[in-house]
Structure 1
């Protein structure tokens, strides 16, 4: 599909807006399990694909929404570059074959980042510009291809994590980075409390910390990335057991793929993702210890469906939020449980205002982020 063929999608959008017909935006479908609900007629945008421009010397690439994420990463790897936020290709509970269908549009709409997020930044931090098809079928362009191009409201980054409720991001320009010249993975046999305390102490020191993961029975796994001398010096200073490169690569690939250590999630227990301050202590949870990432800032846990209120309470008490990533159907009845935390009235008014401005007829991914948006 060429840029001009986007007009066909725009005509479909205008017709749906006129009739009030909800549309469900679909690229590869790899993130269908994320969000509150899937509603509306399918609007397939996977054909609007391709790398529009790539300037390795400028560290910027422009791609269309239907471009396979694997294709983009392969092109970047050929030039020794990468997406440093390590976006996951699929979600827990998904068929592994869906990873091949992950698209750049889905990556941006979901706004999910991988193991390096705490050190390298999130998806939104690497968005330079977007072309959006709004709910009137109009093409709108925001940002550009350099970092210092924003005057006023940064709409480009607003699209990251919006789950498609504001419009179709037809094209996006992303900042990329060179792959690190050196990497090492260390493991420490520490309990959760000690691991969190040490991560907080290391955070204030000039160390090439890139990713971390604590898991019960396994201890703390720490990834260092950066200059050869910096990584070597950090390894000598920190100690621990150094993992072989193949074992380390497999470990971090599993983390990026969001493979969880609980066999019964989605069947007997819910999977929760808690976003909390990195300095938050060990949480009072109604379940087994969590899997801890992002230097303490992201905590995954499996809990019985009737413990949802306690899980959210624990996240809120720590100054964070809780997201239901995968629900167990066993004890659910009636309406689906809330996926995201309820927003304060002021923030919800802002959400409604943005939705009204971009999608006045309310046709895009209705109910995907919140039931009434």
Structure 2
């Protein structure tokens, strides 16, 4: 247990001053995800000094930490106890913070099988748009107004409040892991992963890149090795490094900066889309597709819409184009009402997700 300090009071005072002056605040953690979303303006509100693990009992499978705590520190602590954050959040730099993990809502290779960030958030402590400190979610007071605030905060990019603390579910590390490689065309890779998702194979990650399908199997040795015999393929050496590079986007695919990188999210059963599969990397059994393309914005988003998916300009920018997929009218109304309820004066990360709110 780490004793509390005066940083919460300092942050709360900064929010109060911003409210009084009706001046927006730009919430800053480690800054490793500054490229994601729209630029925001306002006085910097730095939460990175607000660090420390508040509680962690391995037998309870839960950790609570202050928002500025480096992600690497938390993962090292969990690893020393044979545990992990099962959703494998990307760590883009040593400065990446656990608050940023929740605010951005980005998950790694295991997401379809282990769940997303949102599935592992038990509770949050916030400074609200009224300048008050409030707790929501598991291990703290119940949510109000019919909203599951701890889940809504996840992926909100700091637009609903200042995250002070997060409580997360943790999981034991797998006993055995094995990564297989199979050279095959994209359509065959899609069909195989679709079949495997509907079976009992102990899949924990998939990737298709440059004509090769990578399958990670995780679980007890007997199940993993029996699955290998059924699937075939060659074991990958240095598999941990491969998945770490994919998770943290240091893999060679992500090292292209001459044009925007699109992230497309689809339902699991979406088949290969030839117009998108050229310069791409496919994860999550086909549900997440990273694409460098010159296809016009309206066309790529129409492809995503017809596939019941979303298309996000993940990195880079296009003039006049909002990075995040356009909302339906109903969803926009819901989002705006939520913003009004949580941040009525519009001071937190203005326009980070959508222009003017």
**Shared fold, TM over 0.5:** yes
What is the CA distance between 1:7 and its match in structure 2?
Answer: 1.4
What is the CA distance between 1:257 and its match in structure 2?
Answer: 1.1
What is the CA distance between 1:150 and its match in structure 2?
Answer: 7.0
Give the 5 Å matches for 1:104-115.
Answer: 104-115=98-109
What is the CA distance between 1:309 and its match in structure 2?
Answer: 2.1
What is the CA distance between 1:206 and its match in structure 2?
Answer: 0.9
- Contact 1:192–1:216 at 8 Å: present in 2 too? no
- Contact 1:145–1:174 at 8 Å: present in 2 too? no
Alignment-derived partner of residue 257 in structure 1:
248
Instruction: Name the TM-score, length of structure 2 as normaliser.
Output: 0.94
Is 1:369 matched up with 2:353?
A: yes
Alignment-derived partner of residue 169 in structure 2:
175
> C-alpha offsets along residues 232-253 of structure 1, whole Å, 9 cap, x if unaligned?
1111111111112xx2112111
Distance 1:253 1:262, change over 3 A: closer
Is 1:303 matched up with 2:305?
A: no
Distance 1:206 1:286, change over 3 A: closer
Alignment-derived partner of residue 278 in structure 1:
268
What is the CA distance between 1:280 and its match in structure 2?
Answer: 0.6
Distance 1:264 1:234, change over 3 A: closer
Alignment-derived partner of residue 93 in structure 1:
none
1:342 to 295, 309, 326: 326
Give the 5 Å matches for 1:75-154.
Answer: 75-90=77-92, 99-145=93-139, 152-154=146-148
What is the CA distance between 1:82 and its match in structure 2?
Answer: 0.2
What is the CA distance between 1:169 and its match in structure 2?
Answer: 1.1
Unaligned runs of 5+ in 2: none
Q: Distance in 2 between matches of 1:263 and 1:78?
A: 30
- Contact 2:253–2:281 at 8 Å: present in 1 too? no
2:228 to 214, 226, 235: 235
The 3-state SS of whatever aligns with 1:141 is strand
Unaligned runs of 5+ in 1: 91-98
Q: Distance in 1 between matches of 2:225 and 2:278?
A: 36
Is 1:17 matched up with 2:19?
A: yes
> C-alpha offsets along residues 343-371 of structure 1, whole Å, 9 cap, x if unaligned?
01111111111111111110000000101
Q: Distance in 2 between matches of 1:307 and 1:262?
A: 21
- Contact 2:242–2:251 at 8 Å: present in 1 too? no
2:185 to 180, 191, 198: 191
> C-alpha offsets along residues 122-175 of structure 1, whole Å, 9 cap, x if unaligned?
0010000111111121011111249xx778432111111000000011011100
Q: Distance in 2 between matches of 1:288 and 1:201?
A: 23
Q: Distance in 1 between matches of 2:203 and 2:252?
A: 24
> C-alpha offsets along residues 273-325 of structure 1, whole Å, 9 cap, x if unaligned?
00001111111426724210001100001013x62222212212211000001
Q: Distance in 2 between matches of 1:57 and 1:39?
A: 43
Distance 1:209 1:302, change over 3 A: same
Alignment-derived partner of residue 290 in structure 1:
280
The 3-state SS of whatever aligns with 1:63 is strand
Distance 1:260 1:327, change over 3 A: farther
- Contact 1:286–1:310 at 8 Å: present in 2 too? no
Give the 5 Å matches for 1:25-40.
Answer: 25-40=27-42
Q: Distance in 1 between matches of 2:28 and 2:161?
A: 12
The 3-state SS of whatever aligns with 1:100 is coil
Worse-superposed segment, 106-115 or 150-159: 150-159
Alignment-derived partner of residue 8 in structure 1:
10
**Following superposition, which runs of at least 4 residues in structure 1 exceed 6 angstroms of deviation?**
none
Q: Distance in 2 between matches of 1:38 and 1:372?
A: 10
Worse-superposed segment, 286-295 or 164-173: 286-295
